[in-house]
Structures are given as C-alpha cells and as structure tokens.
Chain A
Amino acid sequence: MATIVVHSQTSPVQDAEALRLAFKGWGADNKAIIAILGHRNVHQRQQIRKAYEELFEEDLIKRLESEISGDFERAVYRWMLDPADRDAVLINVAIRNGNKDYHVVAEIASVLSTEELLAVRRAYHNRYKRSIEEDVSAHTTGHLRQLLVGLVSSFRYEGDEINAKLAQTEANIIHESVKEKKGNNEEVIRILTTRSKTQLVATFNRYRDEHGISISKKLLDQTSDDFQKTLHTAIRCINDHKKYYEKVLRNAIKKFGTDEDGLSRVIVTRAEKDLRDIKELYYKRNSVHLEDEVSKETSGDYKKFILTLLGKHD
C-alpha cells in the first residue's frame, strides 16, 4: 500500500501557478513545494509538469533543479520523474558509481515486474541513447557482468506454474555451487536470470526445506566480492523485496554500509507502491517507527519532504 496522502480535488493549473509563486523572489518557498508535490500522485505530477510547461514555457523539473539544492533537490527531482525514467536514471548513476552500487542495478532489475523492467529499458534508450545492457556490460567483467546483464535483460514469464521437480534440481545446483565458493556460477546465473519469479521462489523454498537454512542467510557470510554481493541482493529481492527494503532502510538509518542513498531511493521509489507494508515490517523488526528514526537522522527541507512522502501529517 502507498504511504503518500493524495489530495483528490486538485487542479494542475492551480498547482503550477502556486509553484511559480514559490519560485519568486530570493530563494524558493520549499514549504509550498513540499505541500504541493508531496501530496500528488504520479498522474497529478505529470499533469502539473505539463501545465507548467504550457503556462510558463519552461520545464518544471529544470526550474526545480535550479531553485533547490542538496539532498532535498535530489529527492524532489527523482520524485518528479516518471517511474520508468526514474529507475533508468538510478541505474545509470549506479553504473557510473561502480563497484559499491552495482547492487542497486540488481535491486531494480529484480524487484520490477517484467513489463516495468521493459519500460525502464525503453526509458533508458530515450534518455541515454544506449541500451542498459550496453552500459552495464561495458563497465563490468566476468561473472558480475554475466549476472547483471542477465538480470537487466530478463523478460521473465509471469505465470503461476511451478515445476516441483525442476525446483528440486535447481535448488541442488545452487547448493552445490554455494558449497564450493568458486562453484558453478554460470549455472546459478542461468537459473537466477531466466526462471520465472514464481519458479525461483519455489526453488528457494526447496533449498530451505532441504538444507535448513534460507539461501540468503547462507550467502550472508560470503559477500566477499561484488559478484557475491550482487547475487545476494538479487536473491533477496526476488524472494521478499519488502524485507530487503526494510534492511536497506535500517542500514541507511544506522549509517551502516555504503548505501548512503538508500533512504532516499527506497522512500521515493516505493512511496506509491508498498512503503506502508515496509513501514510495518520496520516497526515489527525495530520496535520503533520509521518516521521517528527518519526525524532523528535527517534535517531541513529534505527531512520534511521525506516525512511527507511517508504519510506524516503536517
């Protein structure tokens, strides 16, 4: 379930005019920006952008970029993009950031549905004049490359069918590969990047039933290199992405690990999807509300914006 609180009776023209007003003078009225954009869903935001362009002959996003700054600007910028375009930008940034951020590519490619991933691939073509797989493969090598290219190029079957025998066979293949650390990575990559998600979840369940430990826990102590780390991310995202996102948020708030962008990324990309479920998971796991933690760890307009997306009432 989404967390943003949307106002249904809005007029894109009024919003565009209000934003224009917010830009007037020295410095922007960030409160007004948050009050409007933080309470509009994706369709409303698209209409506001269109209305602003028609009224003032200027791209709202470009204007926002010049009016605000820092973490606040980055969050608002991403919030304003179409979801597919946003993910394309996130992937491109992750590729350019290199080693520490390849897991973001795996995250996006693994969480999205088949059609959503396709839309991201199209958006990437439009924005960067290249394909995602071109860029990912040119920046990586070996098994990491194979895994990432396979993940971003997948066009998974989305049916409910489960082949139990296959799940057994492939759980065994994964087990054998994980046992000897440098095991048959190619087979694991094949399974993970081509099977349907339903089949994969059945395979992961089979693994857990057979070996008493979930595959993601098993891999926890083997995240030594980028390939293992990325593999781990992909498996966790396919298996239970809400649990994965809870962990990303937890790590970001505790400033544990290198995914500094995690807080902003998860909240902006999931606010209109399942952030409410992730919030509940967070509370269950940590006995404290996500909003309270965010309140403590962030500040200024960025904090106000993020809290708005989290559904906090002013």
Chain B
Amino acid sequence: MAFNQELEAITQAFSGHGVDEKSLIAVLGKWDPLERETYRKKTSHFFIEDHERQFQRWNDHCVRLLKHEFVRFKNAVVLWSMHPWERDARLAKEALKKGSISYGVLIEIACTRSSEELLGARKAYHSLFDHSIEEDVASHIHGNDRKLLVALVSAYRYEGTKVKDDTAKSEAKTLSNAIKNAQNKPIVEDDEVIRILATRSKLHLQAVYKHYKEISGKNLEEDLNDLRFKETVQCLCTPQVYFSKVLDAALKNDVNKNIKKSLTRVIVTRADIDMKEIKAEYNNLYGVSLPQKIEETAKGNYKDFLLTLIARGG
C-alpha cells in the first residue's frame, strides 16, 4: 500500500463502531517512527500540535473515546454471555443511574420482553441489587414519567389468546378521546391511558391499535406526542419497527455514546428472539440489509461478532 492509502486505512480503523484490530496490527504495527510522526501531524482531530516544543500529543478526550471503541467488543461479549435475566436487570439499573435520557431503555425492557422474561429480570434485580426494580424506579424517577414507568415494570400481562374485541374497540375510543383532549389534559396525566397501556395483554393492545387506526386513520404512536408514550406503544405493538428504528439511529457515524451503545444492546438482546423479523423490517424501512449496514459502519472483532449474532437462525 502507498503511505496515503495506509493513512486512510488507519483513519478508517478508528472510525465507526469498534476498531479494526487487523489494520492496526498490520499497518500501525509496521510503521517506523517517521511514518508515525507523519500520521500524528496529519491527524489533527486526534493529536494536538505543540508548536513551541515541537511535538504532537494525544487529545485526552479522544483517548477516552477510543477506549470506548476498543472495549465495545468486550462489552458485547460479556453482555452476550450473561443470563438474559441478569442482562435485563443490569441494563435497567444502568438506565436508572443515567437518568431520563435512558428511560427509553426501561420502557424497551418492560414492554418487549415476555411476561416470564420480565419477571426473571425482576428476580435477578432482587439478587443483584437487594431492592425491587419498582422500588428503585419509583424512588429515582419523579414527575410525569414515574406513574407510567412503575406501572410498566410491574406488569405481569396475561399471555393467552383470549381477547374481548368490544373492550378493545371501546378502549381505542377512550384513547382517541384522550388524545383529542390533550390540550386540556395532557396524556401523561391521563390515568386511563396508563391503565390501558400498562395492564392489558399484548394481543389485546394489538386489537386496540387496529381499532384506533380504523377510528382515526392514523397509527396510535403517531398521535401521541409524549415521547415515553410513543415508545411504549411502539414497543408493545410494533416491536420490530421500534428495534429497526433504534438500530438505524445507532448505525450512523457521528452519534453520542448512549445511542451507540444501543447497537450492542439491541443485537445481543434480540439475537435469540426476533432478529429475523427485525432484519426483514429493517430492510423494509430503509432499503438496505442490516448486515450490510453493519459491515459499513462497524469495525474489526466487534463487527464480526455482531454479524455472527445476527446470522444465527437464518
């Protein structure tokens, strides 16, 4: 390779999700001191030129960011080998600690897991943290989100096939009225909306979703202008669409670290559940296959690990 191509290879090795270990070994490992100095001088977003003292030093912030990228593979491996219950309990705890930007993760766990999976997460939470998950959610979260989130993590939904269609129809009407009345009474304060979303079975909610569309012509989550309620409905009624959207947001090149982490989380937590359906939905929504997008945006061992997880079960 010409030196310029090598420079490009190293820049690429450090951009995206994870790092390209092979290129770093093959190229960076072989460069002599002069080549490395040229690399530092030409990579101003990583190295700060100290003109006075005639040397270039690493930007500390970049070193910290790079650490995250190197460790992305390790985190994926650790998360993958965890028991799903421990996994969800730890993800929930982390989300609580991070604050409101991460409450979406709580909603994701509470709403996309089966009743038994969510129960298992609650048991693991007891074991790991000596508290119940609802205790911590209720005492750490204040304001509007609390009612919804406590209700969602406490649910033990019926999972059988029986659905009362008249009830579903009437509850679709209730939701429609609540949404129309949102000016006078915000959705977040509407106990009936929370009741329906937090207690009804998923099959029942899908019927409500369908009736809502018939009544108002739009999808329920489009009309809900509170982010948490939107996420709740998406997770409960159209989880594969939800996951595809999360993946798409994560598979961009310049995203904040929380969004970046969701790539590992979604792939590790769904690989054994509904990855096939998510892949299909992703393709449907964005016109490109998920493996291809990962190939473009992720690097090295991390990339290979993700692709292996996605390829399982066809």
A-side residues, CB < 8 A to B, are: 118, 121, 125, 129-131, 133-134, 137-138, 141-142, 145-146, 149-150, 153-159, 161, 190, 193-196
Chain B interface size, under 10 / 10 to 19 / 20 to 34 / 35 or more = 20 to 34
Q: Are B130 and A137 in contact (CB under 8 A)?
A: no
Surface stretch bound by A, among B29-37, B151-159, B248-256, B265-273: B151-159
Instruction: Determine whether the beta carbon of B154 is less than 8 Å from that of A153.
Output: yes
Residues 144-177 of chain B, each 1 if its beta carbon lies under 8 Å from chain A, else 0:
0011001100111111101000000000000000
**In the bound complex, CA of A41 to CA of B134 (Å):** 36
B155 with A131: CB separation less than 8 A: yes
Residue pair B199, A137 in contact (C-beta under 8 Å): yes
Residue from the set A121, A138, A158, A161 with the largest chain B CB neighbour count within 10 Å? A138
**Which of A129, A141, A153, A154 sits near B162, CB closer than 8 Å?**
A129
What residues of chain B lie closer than 8 Å to A138, measured between beta carbons? 195, 199
A73 to B62, CA, bound (A): 76
Task: State how many angstroms separate the Cβ of B267 from the closest Cβ of chain A.
Answer: 28
Extra A-B contacts (13), CB below 8 Å, given A196-B132, A196-B135:
A118-B119, A125-B158, A125-B160, A133-B156, A138-B199, A145-B191, A155-B133, A157-B135, A159-B130, A190-B138, A193-B138, A194-B134, A194-B150
Given the complex, which residues of B lie within 8 Å of A161, measured CB to CB? 130
Q: Which residues of A contact B130 (CB under 8 A)?
A: 157, 159, 161
Complex interface: chain A residues within 8 A of B195 (CB): 137-138, 145
Compute how far the CA of A159 lies from the CA of B130 in the bound complex, rounded to whole angstroms.
Answer: 7
Convert B126-142 into 0s and 1s, putting 1 for each residue whose CB lies closer than 8 angstroms to a CB of A. 10001111110011000
**B157/A194 in contact, CB under 8 A:** no
> Would you give the shortest CB distance from B204 to chain A, in whole angstroms?
8
18 contacts between A and B (CB under 8 A): A125-B159, A125-B160, A129-B162, A131-B158, A133-B154, A133-B155, A133-B156, A133-B198, A134-B201, A138-B199, A145-B191, A153-B134, A154-B134, A154-B154, A157-B126, A157-B132, A196-B131, A196-B132
Q: Which residues of B contact A130 (CB under 8 A)?
A: 158, 162, 201
**With a CB–CB cut-off of 8 A, which chain B residues contact A142?**
191
Q: List, in ascending order, chain A residues with CB within 8 A of B123's CB.
A: 155
Residue from B126, B132, B134, B199 in contact with A133 in the complex, judged by beta carbons closer than 8 Å: B199
CB distance from A85 to the nearest CB of B (A): 16
Chain A hits for B139, CB < 8 A? 190, 194
B135 engages A149 (CB within 8 Å) = no
A92 shortest CB reach to chain B, Å: 13
A134 to B157, CA, bound (A): 8
Determine the main DSSP class of B at the interface with A: helix
Q: List B contacts of A154 (CB < 8 A).
A: 132, 134, 154
Most B-side CB within 10 Å, residue of A125, A150, A157? A157
- Asked if B122 is an interface residue, CB under 8 A from chain A, the answer is yes
For the complex, give the distance between the alpha carbons of A138 and B150 in Å.
18
A121 vs B135: C-alpha distance in the bound complex, in angstroms?
20
Chain B residues with CB under 8 Å of A159's CB are 126, 130
Within 8 Å CB of A150, what residues of B? Answer: 150, 154
Residue of A whose beta carbon sits closest to that of B126: A157
B56 CB, nearest partner CB in chain A, Å: 52
A157 contacts which chain B residues (CB < 8 A)?
Answer: 126, 130-132, 135
From residue A136, how far is it (CB to closest CB) to chain B in Å?
Answer: 8
Among B131, B147, B198, the most chain A Cβ lie within 10 Å of the Cβ of B131
Is the Cβ of A155 less than 8 Å from the Cβ of B122? yes
Residue in B135, B155, B160, B201 with the greatest tally of chain A CB atoms within 10 Å: B135
Output the least CB separation between B122 and chain A (Å): 5
Q: Are A194 and B191 in contact (CB under 8 A)?
A: no
Tell me which residues across on chain A come within 8 A of B147, comparing CB atoms.
146
What sequence of 0s and 1s flags, for each residue 108-123 of chain B, a beta carbon within 8 Å of any chain A beta carbon?
Answer: 0000000000010011
A195 CB contact (under 8 Å) in B135, B156, B162, B198? B135
Given contacts A129-B160, A137-B199, contact A153 B155 (CB under 8 A): yes
Contact between chains at A134 and B199 (CB < 8 Å): yes
The answer to whether B228 has its CB under 8 Å from any CB of chain A is: no
Which residues on A sit within 8 Å (CB–CB) of B159? 125
Residues of chain B contacted by A190 (CB below 8 angstroms)? 138-139, 146, 150
Residues of A within 8 A of B151 (CB): 149, 153
Q: Give chain B residues whose Cβ lies under 8 Å from the Cβ of A149.
A: 151, 154, 199
Give chain A nearest CB distance to B306 CB in angstroms.
33
Q: Which residues of A contact B199 (CB under 8 A)?
A: 131, 133-134, 137-138, 149
B134 to chain A, nearest CB (A): 5
B200 within 8 Å of A (CB atoms):
yes
**Chain A residue contacts of B158, Cβ below 8 A:** 125, 129-131, 134
A153 to B156, CA, bound (A): 7
Q: B162: which A residues are within 8 A, CB to CB?
A: 129-130
> Measured between C-beta atoms, what is the minimum distance from B118 to chain A in Å?
10
A-B CB proximity, top 9 nearest: A153-B154, A129-B162, A194-B135, A134-B199, A137-B195, A190-B138, A133-B199, A157-B132, A194-B134
Name the distance in Å between A190's Cβ and chain B's nearest Cβ: 5
In the complex, chain A residues whose CB is within 8 Å of the CB of B154:
133, 149-150, 153-155
Q: Across the interface, name the chain A residue whose C-beta is closest to B161.
A: A129
Residue of A146, A194, A196 with most partner-chain B CB within 10 A: A194
